[in-house]
Structure 1
Amino acid sequence: MSSLGYKTIGKGKNYIIFLHELMGDCRNYEPIFNYLDQEIFTCLFVDLRGYGLSKEIHGEYNCLEASNDVKDLITSLNITTYSLVGHSMSTLIAQKIALIDIRVKKLILITPIPAFGIKMNHYAKEALLNQMQENSNKIEQIVEDSSKRYNNSWKNYRIKMAYSSSTLEARVGYMKMYLNVDFQEEAQEKIDIAIKIIVGKHDFPVFAYNQVNKNFSKYKDVEIIECNEAGHYPMIETPIFFASHIEKWCL
């Protein structure tokens, strides 16, 4: 298979790998570019199969495939150690990478999904997947529900990003991943590196501080901070706050 596409910022000796969420690609991180120390860090913003710079790469769109894709990319670049940042959907992939790649020295999870995925009953799951597969305004509904504080320009921007960043096949595939995956026991037992988490005060309840704290309470070394001015996109809503914490944690 072709290697995943990515964008590089910086030329420092400290490597940070950034992964994106379901309804965006590496462009989600563009607001932080000016606030990263490019002499200290080399930041790689990676697009998964079916997304952004990797949109033409097809696959199964599951957790293990994506994790191995990122691991293979790191190997091809001769990176010996790195910090790994996942956002929402890709926090599952980031946790799996931490299990299979000893080069990960720090795990940073933004508005994370726990390793047991997002649970819902069979009928609700099928309805959600069918709506996404049929492109029946589910993306518009999600954006509307998550953006009540913001104006129509923001909503239109997020809707356009969701459709333009990925193929339908990839969006549905990765949604199936987080609705069906479960490696929680393995993650809790075997992830022994520090985990840093950012949640947004205005995010959906499933990503709220108390819920995330409960989901990650049995991991060995976890720190959670809440961004009071953000919802699901702290890298866009509060880029200076976001970049500052990423740099502090990755030194």
Structure 2
Amino acid sequence: MNPGTNKLNILQHTNMEKYAQSGDGQKIHYKESGEGKTALLFVHGWLGNAEWWNGQQEHFKDRYHIVQMSLAGHGKSDASRAEWSSERYADDIRAVAGQISSQEIILIGHSMSGAYVLEAASNMPNVKAVILIDTIKDLEEALTEEKAEQFLFVHYRNDFKNAVENILPQYLFTEKTPPDVKQKLQDEFLQNTSETAINLLRPLYKKDFREDASKIQVPVRAINSDNFPTNIENNRKYLKDYNYIEMAGTGHYPMLEKPEEFNKILDDILKELSDN
């Protein structure tokens, strides 16, 4: 392929809506845009979707190949999966990564997807780095399935709307979270039934991700909010090259709450990674 043709292919990533097929046949929706030899593959958290990264797509599209995907059960992706597991979620990520044309991919995972990008990256040779967004703050302090049932799922089953409006905000938002962001997210959460919400989240608590973390050979960086502390020593026991930057005054959704500050920090991390 001559350079001109390659350049044409890169320029054709203009807001294209596509689907990849995961290992169990689920159609996984993703959008491609931007240009650049390195792809930033953005993966949302629980009950999210590809659109959560629109503020990053706009900021980075001139320099990077941008891929925004929705995991199975989320957004425009299929939701008829027979078995919800971390392995299936990692399959979703690998399916999209395998279908895009970039030879160099940086996986960016928010919240529950931090675990799944680590699992996916452990056997993807074209992954250059992993960036975690407000997730995996302490690899030695994982919530078990039993505790998730006790502290989360029982509230979802009893009254999901009440859980979303009155219980979850204690953990997900701060006083500085913009009201419109909080309202938008809560509205999106409530488009799901309590059982769907539980099924989509349960895989996170059924596996010890320290083994996947130990397999990662590429740099892992994190952008964490200061709402809960990060234990860098515990994470470095498993991740060979780990560091994080903390954002003050945001809740669990820094890319939505303070997009300009978030984009600047992500810019700096990408520059550091490219200089190495």
TM norm structure 2: 0.77
**1:18: how far off?**
0.5
* 8 Å Cα contact 1:116/1:182 also seen in 2: no
Match 1:176 to one of 199, 202, 206: 202
Residue pairs, 1:77-92, within 5 angstroms: 77-92=100-115
Match 1:198 to one of 218, 223, 227: 223
Amino acid at match of 2:208: D
Counterpart secondary structure, 1:83: strand
* 8 Å Cα contact 1:4/1:69 also seen in 2: yes
Counterpart secondary structure, 1:24: coil
Deviations 1:17-51 (A, max 9, x none): 00001132222222333322x23201111100010
2: distance between equivalents of 1:216 and 1:89?
16
Amino acid at match of 2:185: R
Change (3 A) 1:5 1:186: closer
Which residue of 2 is the match for residue 216 of structure 1?
A: 235
Change (3 A) 1:124 1:45: closer
Deviations 1:108-127 (A, max 9, x none): 00111356673258366245
Which residue of 1 is the match for residue 211 of structure 2?
A: 185
Amino acid at match of 1:18: F
Which residue of 2 is the match for residue 7 of structure 1?
A: 31
**1:77: how far off?**
2.5
Mean Cα deviation higher: 216-225 or 238-247:
238-247
**1:129: how far off?**
1.9
1: distance between equivalents of 2:211 and 2:252?
26
Indicate the structure (1 or 2) with the bigger Cα radius of gyration: 2
Q: Percent identity?
A: 23
1: distance between equivalents of 2:103 and 2:235?
27
Counterpart secondary structure, 1:193: coil
* 8 Å Cα contact 2:35/2:63 also seen in 1: yes
**1:15: how far off?**
0.4
Aligned residues: 242
- Cα RMSD over matched residues? 2.5
* 8 Å Cα contact 1:51/1:167 also seen in 2: no
1: distance between equivalents of 2:42 and 2:145?
31
* 8 Å Cα contact 2:26/2:72 also seen in 1: no
Change (3 A) 1:152 1:79: closer
Deviations 1:79-124 (A, max 9, x none): 3220000001000101101112121111000111356673258366
* 8 Å Cα contact 2:37/2:103 also seen in 1: no
Which residue of 2 is the match for residue 157 of structure 1?
A: 184
2: distance between equivalents of 1:19 and 1:124?
22
TM norm structure 1: 0.84
* 8 Å Cα contact 2:148/2:205 also seen in 1: no
Structure 1 unmatched ranges of 5 or more: none
Residue pairs, 1:30-109, within 5 angstroms: 30-36=54-60, 38-109=61-132
Deviations 1:129-150 (A, max 9, x none): 2332455322222035533404
Structure 2 unmatched ranges of 5 or more: 1-24
Counterpart secondary structure, 1:97: helix
2: distance between equivalents of 1:145 and 1:246?
23
Higher relative contact order (CA 8 A, sep 6+): 1
Counterpart secondary structure, 2:52: helix
Counterpart secondary structure, 1:5: strand
Is residue 29 of structure 1 aligned with residue 53 of structure 2?
yes
**1:71: how far off?**
0.8
